[in-house]
Amino acid sequence: MAKKPKTAITPVRSDNYPEWYQQVIKAADLAENSSVRGCMVIKPWGYGIWENIRTHFDAIIKKRGVQNAYFPLLIPKSYLEKEAEHVDGFAKECAVVTHHRLEDDGAGGLKPAGELAEPFVIRPTSETIIGESFSNWVQSYRDLPLKINQWANVMRWEMRPRLFLRTSEFLWQEGHTVHATAECAATEASEMLEIYANFAENMLALPVIMGEKTPDERFPGAKHTYTIEAMMQDGKALQAGTSHDLGQNFAIASDIKFSNQDGHVVHAHTTSWGISTRLIGGIIMAHGDDDGMIVPPKVAAQQVVIIPAVHDEADREAIMEKCLGLKLVLETISFDNIMISAVIDDRDEVTSTKSWNWIKKGIPVRVEIGKREIEGNQVFFKRRDESPREKHIMPEDEFLGSIADILLSIQNNLLERAKSYRAQKMKKIDSLDEIFNYFKSEDAGFANIPHSLWDEGLSEKMKTDFSVSPRCLPIIDGELSDRLIIARSY
């Protein structure tokens, strides 16, 4: 029997995908569980990815006239109660603050004191608290549209946490807009969905299906909820971003009114939309392999690591000087309007150990510089989208002239791989028997079925027996499909 090749991550994906995911996070030094149950510590390599997601997406929405602001973390319970469907949808996930100070309990510890007249809910989402401000800011049709975003943390109490995918506290952006008409709000929600889909594909190399959620899956209190759904390598769906047309529900609850051009005072129409640190989990599960993470170059904290290969101390100074010079030149080069960031790994470790460390982190390009490279005026490098055994040697000038194309090639390769995999795991099904047979396998992916088949009975059976839920009704060429995507999901 052929011997399995050694991998950096055990178990491998095919043996135990959930455990592989946890081990990749550990090996890549992305994050760790906090002593606060259900919460995580995001470490520099993981947070660097989030910073790039934030930076690039922030620039996109600002071009659309969106302004950043910040709103309170604590929301009075009465605010959530104004919109009954909303509070019902989030009630089981809320963390509640009931006291405002601690005092000595007489036994060497502390106890809560100073009970609040009204409890505060730690922000699960901000429609209600932001709506309170909007009711003061919006008076006339001239104040519209109003487009506000905040980058913040939120708290949704999680019973079964998993790093990046489901934690009690996570980071996100939440956009909130106010419009004069239903048509304007609908357009905003649809356009933001397209922006999310383009961002996922162009920046994260993550192909997604755009669609509308079924009524049972809508955001609590929304008129329409739109979603982008990505397929992970185990065939499960990841909801990667959502955009909500809230109609007038929250405007009525928060009393957001304005004088229209006819002089009548009417309620506004609102939207909200968001993406979160869950995207990092999506990057891991869509692109990672049995050696660790593979980070799309456009969102990597650094695109290139330069590893000095010092075998003789007499060569150290010259090698380090060469590495520094290469780093300085690399950081003057851009690819697709993104400036390259490079790091020199000068730790006192053997070269192969350092190289494997960066393989597990998923940095796009690894460069090794030693005496031979200096003498040959060449660059020895490897790409993370290829086997660790693959290597490339180029004259230094050629490498520097090609690095932008190399990074874009890696980015495009990851996207095409993900598209190809999704195509293999997407099945069109038209009968109940086929649906049941398909999802009897743990290896099932997405099923595309007639929406008319998804009645209450099938819905209950699929959720109970197969852990399958409706993901969305796809939007194709601007039109809502009469077919439904169903899958297991995160």
Return the residue matching tokens 């050696």: 291
d(CA 27, CA 12): 13
Model confidence band, residue 92 (pLDDT cutoffs 50, 70, 90): confident
Q: What's the pLDDT score for residue 5?
A: 67
CATH class of 17-287: alpha beta
Asked if residues 403 and 342 have their Cβ atoms less than 8 Å apart, the reply is: no
Element (H, E) at 343: strand 342-344
d(CA 231, CA 242): 16
Beta bridge partners of 178: 146, 270
Per-residue pLDDT averaged across 75-96, rounded?
Answer: 85
Q: Is the pLDDT of residue 82 over 90?
A: no
Asked if residues 335 and 408 have their Cβ atoms less than 8 Å apart, the reply is: yes
d(CA 198, CA 474): 15
pLDDT digits (tens, 9 = 90+) for 227-266: 999 999 999 999 999 999 999 999 999 999 999 999 999 9
Q: What's the pLDDT score for residue 250?
A: 95
Q: What's the pLDDT score for residue 434?
A: 96
Q: What's the pLDDT score for residue 123?
A: 96
Model confidence band, residue 490 (pLDDT cutoffs 50, 70, 90): very high
User: CA separation (Å) from 462 to 95, 146, 235, 342, 465?
Assistant: 31, 41, 16, 48, 5
Superfamily for 305-403? Anticodon-binding domain (3.40.50.800)
Longest dimension (CA), the chain: 83
Question: CA-based Rg of the chain, rounded to a whole angstrom?
Answer: 25
Q: What's the pLDDT score for residue 457?
A: 86
Q: Where are the domains of the chain?
A: 17-287, 305-403, 425-487
Closest CA to 227 of 202, 184, 183, 197: 197
Q: What's the pLDDT score for residue 103?
A: 95
Model confidence band, residue 86 (pLDDT cutoffs 50, 70, 90): confident
Q: Is the pLDDT of residue 2 over 70?
A: no
Per-residue pLDDT averaged across 23-29, rounded?
Answer: 98
> Which CATH number does the domain 425-487 belong to among 3.30.200, 3.40.50, 3.10.450, 3.30.110?
3.30.110
Q: Is the pLDDT of residue 113 over 90?
A: yes
Model confidence band, residue 83 (pLDDT cutoffs 50, 70, 90): confident
Q: Under the phi-then-psi rule, with left for phi > 0, alpha for psi from -120 to 50, and beta for the rest, what region is 114?
A: left
Q: What's the pLDDT score for residue 159?
A: 84
pTM for the whole structure: 0.95
Asked if residues 45 and 29 have their Cβ atoms less than 8 Å apart, the reply is: yes
Buried b / exposed e over 192-207, threshold 16 CB at 10 Å, is bbebbbebbbebbbbb
Q: What's the pLDDT score for residue 251?
A: 97
CA atoms within 13 A of residue 89's CA, in its CB half-sphere = 16
- Residue 381 corresponds to which amino acid? F
The percent of residues in the chain predicted with pLDDT above 90, rounded, is 95
